[in-house]
Amino acid sequence: MSRINFDLQASHKMLMLLDEANVNTESIIDRIPGVFLIVNEHHEVLRANVDFMDLVALDAEDVFRMPLSTFFPNESWKIFAHNIKQVLNSENSDALLRFEMSMVVARCDEHAERQFHWTITRRNVKNDGEGRLVTVFGDDISAMRAAERRLAKVFNSIPLGIFTLNKDGTIGDSFSSCLESMLDCGKLAGAAIEEVLFKPALAHMTEESIDGIKAIRACLGKSELDYGKHSMRFPTEIFHNTKPDPDDGLWLRITYQPIVFNQIVEQLLIILEDRTAIVNAEQEMLVAAQDREKAIALEKQSLAVYESAIRDPLTRLYTRLYMKDAVAALLWKHDRNEIPDLSMVMFDIDHFKRVNDTYGHKSGDLILARVGGVIFDHSPDPVIPIRFGGEEFVVFMPADGGAALTFAEAVRKEIEMLQFDLGGGIVIQITTSCGVTAHRKREVLEDFMHRADSLLYMAKAGGRNQSVFEL
């Protein structure tokens, strides 16, 4: 075998290896994720990866020499072509350009534009056959942008003002559509936070809160370890008012979140919550609570007045004022069979005038109080005991005449046993006479009482200290 043949044999082995390497390399290039293209200076596609061909629904031979402009909307393409030119004409052979732009895709399930992040670099070649070349890398960021848009929608839809504060105390990015209306300011980016957020609130801020504004600036650009001590002083609620009407402002709650890079507080994320409606509601509730307390006090007062009007302070029994309404209700119920029986007992202290005249009104009052007490103690609900006037007492009860007589006798006998120590060694006893009767259906109160009074009179006439009844 000649030397040529030995050489060729060696080359042959090398070529086999290169062939295999070439196939693998091409396969790797084909499978570069995202878009990979080699484009000549006439903007023709010379090489494309599989992802690109999938996106545009074409094969390698269709794509070969296709104008790259085919895959871009007109206006976008002008910028893209300009960027290619920039890279090709750059004095730096390693020049690269990065930018975002949408590309027209034409998969079977969609025909739309998708957002890509592009990187263009220059390639050096050995001949002028294709002119100068660029490589184009594209990362599909449409899903990320869509997620950002969804997030922005969420930010915009929530009634919060969200923005970043730069290291120099100016407003950076704003993330909510209601921020401008909240602060009543059209141009926020670059504005000083004191101007747009705190100046319209100074009138309602305490000295401590005003001092806290300085703490906001003080923490920016400083170590995150110091953030805590500053943040304790930050103003957290302000009344922000840019209107002539002093009440026409917003109550804003402010929360702060440090954005830290390399342990330094580079920015603050500030969130404003409009609490005006809540504060107003709280104030209304406070006023309502105060009004309610007043009403309760008034009610208690009225009740006390009413009580004093319907209660005899000496005997604790009801007065005639109460009798009219309360007894009318009892009569009404008895007339309509809501209660089966209704009776009345009329008491009168025997010879009370003589006691008064002999021992004085003070002694008379003592006797009246004790007698009233006995009657009261014998009158559980719904019995209605009334001091009718002077030494006369009337008791209404939803019971028949027999029960009323038993009641009258029990009271009369207890009073008969009482001993009144009037002082000075004087101890007396008294008696009472009683008229007892049952109500007749549709009988008016006057008639009912008149009959009881007649019976009482009969008891007096019969010798006193007795009960006369009509069942």
CB 36 within 8 A of CB 55: no
Cα–Cα distance measured from residue 105 to residue 35, given in angstroms and rounded to the nearest whole number = 12
**Cα(145)–Cα(86) distance, rounded to whole angstroms?**
26
For residues 375 and 42, give the distance between their C-alpha atoms in angstroms, rounded to a whole number. 121
Q: How far is the CB of 42 from other proteins (least distance, A)?
A: 11
Long-range CB pairs of 188-197 (<8 Å, 24+ gap) are 188/163, 193/165, 193/169, 193/270, 194/169, 196/171, 197/238, 197/240, 197/254, 197/272
- Comparing CB distances to other proteins, the nearer of 61 and 208 is 61
> Closer CB to other proteins, residue 132 or residue 464?
132
Of residues 41 and 226, the one with the C-beta less far from other proteins: 41
Q: In the bound complex, what is the minimum distance in angstroms from residue 84's beta carbon to other proteins?
A: 16
Considering the complex, state which of residue 10 and residue 328 has its C-beta at the smaller distance from other proteins. 10
Taking the complex as a whole, the smallest distance from the CB of residue 254 to other proteins amounts, in Å, to: 60
Shortest separation between residue 126's beta carbon and other proteins, angstroms: 5
46 versus 192: smaller Cβ distance to other proteins: 46
Q: Closest CB to other proteins among 129 and 380? A: 129
The verdict on whether 293 is a catalytic residue reads no
Q: Which two tokens stand for residue 310?
A: 């319907």
Q: Which is nearer to other proteins, 29 or 97 (CB)?
A: 29
Distances (CA, A) of 150 to 144, 178, 405: 10, 17, 88
Q: What are the start-end ranges of the E strands in 327-370?
A: 343-349
Structure tokens that stand for 412 in this block = 């009369």
Helices and strands per DSSP (H, E), number in the chain:
15, 17
Q: Which is nearer to other proteins, 7 or 293 (CB)?
A: 7
Q: Report yes or no: 234 and 212 within 8 Å, Cβ to Cβ.
A: yes
Q: Give residue 361's region: left, alpha or beta (phi > 0; psi -120 to 50).
A: alpha
The secondary structure of the chain in percent helix, strand, coil, rounded to multiples of 5, reads 50, 25, 25
Under 8 Å CB-to-CB from 104, ≥6 apart: which residues? 56, 71, 72, 73, 111, 112, 113
State the nearest-atom distance from the C-beta of 150 to other proteins, in Å. 40
**Whole-number Å distance between alpha carbons of 71 and 32:** 19
* Amino acid, res. 324: K
Radius of gyration of the chain, Cα coordinates, nearest whole angstrom: 52
Considering the candidates 44, 91, 391, 446, report the single residue annotated as catalytic: 391
Work out how close the CB of 49 gets to other proteins at its nearest, in angstroms, rounded to a whole number: 12
Dihedral angle over CA of 63, 65, 67, 72, nearest 10: 30
Tell me the closest approach of the beta carbon of residue 186 to other proteins, in angstroms: 54
Residues that bind other proteins (CB under 8 A): 2, 4-5, 7-9, 11-12, 15-16, 18-19, 22, 26, 38, 46-47, 59-61, 64, 125-130, 133
The CA dihedral of 437, 441, 442, 443, to the nearest 10 degrees, is -10
CB of 52 to other proteins, least distance (A): 14
Residues designated as active site: 391
